């Protein structure tokens, strides 16, 4: 299961030549990446790469909202490099007030372009979508950058006030165990009656690059929590 998911979602960068090319491009064409600090709500979004040390470290200058850290912290690294998206776990060191060093101590992955791939969330893992205007709650069965699949009780489906309608648009919050609650705009694309439950196919309406980056980071974080072998 782990290997299947890893192969489907992320292509691991295994060669040192690929990692060297990645760092070279980031130094020469700065600006298109973000960091998410593990356990912190803030993100370093406005950064300027200023150099690298072999294939191990990238030095960056923070241009906005520097984050004071007393010791190296783990972070999730996300970058657009040409037509590629790269994501992975790194170690962030604070060198001075606005200067940091990103240490590539973990694996780096090329994110597949297929946004329709969905990360399966086990039934036992707490994950819920709540529509804000209708106050309806649904179990999230899987999630991706582009959308999610919801499950509902078939008994509730027989009540018109409990249904979502095909092509219906809505505002909602998503709550997944271990993550902060966040907001999405969604639209119902499919409704399927199964034997023991009802499925809704939902697409997210956010096309902003920041939203897609955030969803990619969430997917990787959730994948690591659910399926990565310790």
Whether residue 172 lies inside any domain: the answer is: yes
pLDDT of 31 > 70? The answer is: no
Whether residue 153 lies inside any domain: the answer is: yes
> Do residue 102 and residue 124 come from a single domain?
no
pLDDT of 169 > 50? The answer is: yes
pLDDT at 7 (0 to 100): 45
pLDDT of 179 > 90? The answer is: no
> Do residue 99 and residue 178 come from a single domain?
no
> Do residue 127 and residue 73 come from a single domain?
no
Q: Which residue has the higher pLDDT, 4 or 66?
A: 66
* Domain closes at, from 111, 129, 161: 111
> Do residue 130 and residue 150 come from a single domain?
yes
Whether residue 104 lies inside any domain: the answer is: yes
> Do residue 149 and residue 69 come from a single domain?
no
* Residues 6 or more apart whose Cβ sits within 8 Å of residue 165: 188
Distance CA 14, CA 4 (A): 18
Q: Which residue has the higher pLDDT, 150 or 52?
A: 150
> Do residue 101 and residue 127 come from a single domain?
no
Q: What is the mean pLDDT of residues 55-83?
A: 73
Q: Tell me the per-residue pLDDT of 9-27, one tens digit each, with 9 for 90 and over.
A: 667 777 777 777 777 777 7
Query: Could you give the number of structural domains in the chain?
Result: 2
pLDDT at 117 (0 to 100): 60
* Residues 6 or more apart whose Cβ sits within 8 Å of residue 173: 129, 130, 132, 181, 182, 183, 184
Whether residue 129 lies inside any domain: the answer is: yes
> Do residue 202 and residue 137 come from a single domain?
yes
Whether residue 60 lies inside any domain: the answer is: yes
Q: Tell me the per-residue pLDDT of 111-150, one tens digit each, with 9 for 90 and over.
A: 765 555 678 888 888 999 999 877 788 999 999 888 999 9
Whether residue 5 lies inside any domain: the answer is: no
> Do residue 59 and residue 140 come from a single domain?
no
pLDDT at 4 (0 to 100): 37
* DSSP letter string, the chain: -HHHHHHHHEEE---HHHHHHHHHHHHHS---EEEEETT-S-EE-SEEEEEEETTTEEEEEE-SS----SS-EEEEEEEEETTEEEEEEEEEEE-SSSEEEEE--S-EEEEPS-TT--EE--TTS-EEEEETTT--EEEEEEE-SSEEEEEE-HHHHTSGGG---TT-EEEEEEEETTS--EEEEEEEEEEEE-SS-EEEEEEE----HHHHHHHHHHHHHHHHHHH---
Q: What is the mean pLDDT of residues 94-103?
A: 83
Domain that holds residue 49: 10-111
Q: Specify whether the CB–CB gap between 142 and 120 falls below 8 A.
A: yes
pLDDT of 1 > 50? The answer is: no
Q: What is the CATH number of the domain that holds 100?
A: 2.30.110.10
Mean pLDDT of the chain: 76
Q: Is residue 47 very low, low, confident or very high in pLDDT (cuts 50, 70, 90)? A: low
């Amino acid at each position: 299961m782990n290997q299947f998911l890893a192969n489907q979602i992320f292509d691991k960068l295994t060669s040192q030549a690929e990692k060297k090319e990645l760092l070279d491009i980031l130094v020469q064409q700065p600006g298109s990446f973000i960091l998410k600090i593990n356990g912190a709500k803030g993100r370093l979004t406005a950064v300027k790469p200023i150099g690298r040390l072999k294939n191990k470290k990238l030095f960056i200058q923070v241009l906005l909202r520097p984050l004071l850290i007393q010791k190296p912290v783990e972070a999730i690294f996300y970058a657009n490099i040409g037509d590629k998206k790269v994501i992975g776990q790194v170690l962030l060191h604070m060198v001075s007030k606005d200067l940091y060093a990103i240490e590539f101590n973990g694996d780096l992955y090329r994110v597949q372009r297929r946004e329709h791939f969905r990360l399966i969330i086990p039934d036992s893992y707490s994950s819920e979508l709540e529509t804000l205007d209708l106050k309806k709650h649904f179990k999230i069965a899987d999630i991706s950058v582009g959308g999610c699949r919801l499950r509902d009780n078939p008994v509730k489906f027989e009540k018109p006030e409990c249904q979502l309608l095909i092509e219906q648009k809505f505002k909602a919050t998503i709550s997944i165990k271990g993550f902060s609650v966040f907001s999405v705009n969604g639209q119902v694309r499919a409704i399927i009656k199964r034997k023991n439950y009802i499925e809704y196919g939902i697409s997210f309406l956010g096309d902003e690059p920041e939203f897609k980056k955030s969803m990619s980071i969430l997917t990787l974080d959730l994948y690591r929590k659910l399926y990565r072998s310790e």
